[in-house]
Amino acid sequence: MTTSLKRYENLPVPTIGPEEVLVRVKACALNHLDIWIRQGNPAYPIPLPHVSGSDVAGIVEQVGAQVDSVMVGQRVFVSPGISCWKCDQCLAGRDNLCRSYGLVGAKTHGGYAEYLKVPFRNVLPIPGNLSFEQAAAFPLVSVTASHMLFALAGLQHGETALIMGAGSGVGSMAVQMAKLAGARVMTTVGSDDKIPKAVTLGADVVFNHTKENVAERVKLLTEGRGVDVVIEHIGPEVWDTCLDSLARGGRLITCGATTGGEVKLNLRYVFARQLTIKGSYMGTRAELVKAAELMGQGRLIPVIDRTYPLQEARAAQELMVSRKFFGKILLTV
């Protein structure tokens, strides 16, 4: 069985090619990408029926004739980014800049299913003693958070970072990574019950954005200076707050637009304060491998709100849209 965008129905078991593997799905995490695809985002023109789901963990069921690095029965998680591994960008280790780059669950059928086929390079051993649910909860958000914080923002030990939305997948991972790197971490949540959860992840300061003016509080707690780095994935709803919270020379990195795609920007403010604004999309395979190592060592923790059986994917997506969760929402098969 598998879920289409709106229905739970039968599709054939995928037939693999010589350089592909078939994974029997055990767990699949939701991402906002799934919602955008369901709603018909023009950035993802997708023929129907389509199977969503970019974050997958399971057991290798079959391997293609030309695959010798993956074994049947192996416990694996899926690297969500699909690259050609032949172009200049891929060969230079910048595979997320590959011209043919796409995501499992967007460019291909995804993990809201019993079986998933992917290129053999996209399966990696589950690190340490992680469960299937934990292994499905971290890939997309960890590679995204790592790329934003370090490759793009260049976060340094002792700097201050503001992470928007600690309860989101990217937010919950970015809080942990920034703290692990020795930064002072500030973050936001939308309800008081999420505050202790954010503190547990390592946040030094947590703002309830429904009750506090975040930018004003940031300035107060930094003696008027502001923060060095802002990690943002929400869009117009928080854009002005993010810019107002930055110190001179601060860096804002954005990877999402869950509240819309258009913002206003005062260029005089940007150049006068010497701000840097960068867009981020996923990250490199090397960054994912490093995050997996940290997961296996227990230095990073997958944050899971709750799980649903595959046939309740609709309810799982409804919870994601409601924002009444903290961490990742998973489907289990």
pLDDT for 241? 97
pLDDT one-digit tens code per residue, 214-270: 999 999 999 999 999 999 999 999 999 999 999 999 999 999 888 988 999 999 999
Average pLDDT over residues 190-199: 97
Q: What percent of the chain has pLDDT over 70?
A: 98
Label residue 3 by pLDDT band (50, 70, 90): very low
Q: Which residues pair with 187 in a beta bridge?
A: 163, 206
Planar angle of CA 38, 310, 100, nearest 5 degrees: 45
- Kindly list the structural domains of the chain, giving each domain's residue range(s) and its CATH number in brackets, ordered by start: 2-138+302-332 (3.90.180.10), 142-279 (3.90.180.10)
Cβ within 8 Å of residue 236, ≥6 positions away: 257, 259, 260, 262, 263
The rounded Cα 261 to chain-centroid distance in angstroms is 18
Residue 98 has pLDDT above 70, yes or no: yes
pLDDT for 5? 47
Label residue 2 by pLDDT band (50, 70, 90): very low
Mean pLDDT computed over every residue of the chain: 95
Label residue 166 by pLDDT band (50, 70, 90): very high
Instruction: Decide if 210 contacts 238 (C-beta within 8 A).
Output: no
Q: Report the candidate in 271, 212, 208, 207 with the shortest Cα–Cα distance to residue 243.
A: 271
Label residue 1 by pLDDT band (50, 70, 90): very low
Average pLDDT over residues 105-124: 96
- With tokens 């992470």, the residue in question is 163
Dihedral (C-alpha) 288, 291, 293, 295: value to the nearest 10 degrees?
-130
Label residue 6 by pLDDT band (50, 70, 90): low
Per the structure block, which two tokens stand in for 301? 């923790």
Label residue 9 by pLDDT band (50, 70, 90): confident
CA distances from 197 to 103, 180, 215, 265, 304 (A): 30, 17, 22, 33, 12
d(Cα 4, Cα 6) in Å, to the nearest integer? 5
Instruction: Decide if 313 contacts 112 (C-beta within 8 A).
Output: yes
3-state secondary structure of 273: coil
pLDDT for 7? 75
DSSP state of 14: P
d(Cα 31, Cα 55) in Å, to the nearest integer? 8
pLDDT for 4? 42
pLDDT one-digit tens code per residue, 12-64: 999 999 999 999 999 999 999 999 888 887 777 788 889 999 999 999 999 99
